[in-house]
Amino acid sequence: MSNMLFNRNELKILEEFGGDYSKKNYGRAIAKKLGFNQKTVSSILIKLEKENILKFEQEGKNKYYFFNKLNPNIKDVTKIIELNKKIKFLNKHRKIKGLFDGLEQKTDGVLIIFGSYAKNQENKDSDLDVFVIGNIKDKKDLEDIYNIKINIVKTKKEYSRENALFKEIMKDHIILKGIEEFVNLIKW
């Protein structure tokens, strides 16, 4: 892999493979979802495949792309994707950034936002769903300051990857703390 810096469009396309890291995607679906020109998506997918980040399987006329899990740098690519998601999320939620900072300070371990906030479907009545691998101190003061209900799911590292909740979290999540630790837990 010659260059691990990605431009904005490459990052957006790589994010389509994030979440469920075993997901397969094809160019037309990505172009439609992102509102990109199909030719642009195709050239980026080919570039990422040449850089050994993605592989593909041909099914009929479609090439289904997926992460090349044998690439020794794929965890670093995943960390870049997760960090980019976090930055975009925090920029979008500037009004309650202090809430997220407070949660980070109170957490010893991995801190993940899931549910409506991670899916970008929250409204003024939404509660905040938080998944913690490790420990979190009392969050009542943050709930009072920001007038939001915080639902915390705590677990130890011995969680089950087959658990339905964990599968939901894998699909749509924002990692606020512990990106590297979380990426190392992904079943590659």
Q: Say yes or no: 98 and 169 in one domain.
A: yes
DSSP state of 114: E
Buried/exposed 2-11: b ≥16 CB within 10 Å, e otherwise: eeeebeeebb
73, part of any domain: no
74, part of any domain: no
Q: Say yes or no: 43 and 118 in one domain.
A: no
Positive or negative, the CA dihedral 117, 30, 13, 162 is positive
In this prediction, residues 18-27 reach a mean pLDDT of: 88
159, part of any domain: yes
Q: Say yes or no: 168 and 118 in one domain.
A: yes
- How high is the mean pLDDT of the chain? 90
User: In which band, very low, low, confident or very high, does the pLDDT at 178 lie, cut at 50, 70 and 90?
Assistant: very high
**pLDDT tens readout for residues 69-113:** 999 999 999 999 999 999 999 999 998 989 999 999 999 999 999
- The pLDDT, as a whole number, for residue 1 is 43
Rounded Cα gap, residues 4 and 180, in angstroms? 17
How many residues does this entry show for the chain?
188
Rounded Cα gap, residues 37 and 138, in angstroms? 48
- The pLDDT, as a whole number, for residue 187 is 72
- The pLDDT, as a whole number, for residue 19 is 78
Q: Say yes or no: 96 and 52 in one domain.
A: no
Q: Output the six-digit token pair for 74.
A: 């794929």
Q: Say yes or no: 116 and 155 in one domain.
A: yes
Question: Which distant-in-sequence residues (6+ apart) come within 8 Å of 98 by Cβ?
Answer: 145, 146
- Given 50, 67, 84, the domain boundary residue is 67
33, part of any domain: yes
Q: Say yes or no: 96 and 38 in one domain.
A: no
44, part of any domain: yes
Q: Which residue has the tokens 């939404």?
A: 126
What CATH code is carried by the domain that includes residue 58?
Answer: 1.10.10.10
Residue 72, CB half-sphere, CA atoms under 13 Å: how many?
1
77, part of any domain: no
What CATH code is carried by the domain that includes residue 125?
Answer: 3.30.460.10
Long-range contacts of 59-64 (CB under 8 A, 24+ apart): 62/26, 62/28, 63/26, 63/27, 64/24, 64/25, 64/26
- The pLDDT, as a whole number, for residue 130 is 94
Q: Which residues pair with 164 in a beta bridge?
A: none
3, part of any domain: no
Q: Say yes or no: 107 and 172 in one domain.
A: yes
Domain count for the chain: 2
Residue 180 has pLDDT above 70, yes or no: yes
Q: Say yes or no: 176 and 106 in one domain.
A: yes
78, part of any domain: no
pTM of the model: 0.88
Domain that holds residue 114: 92-185
- Give percent above pLDDT 70 in the chain: 94
Q: Say yes or no: 63 and 98 in one domain.
A: no
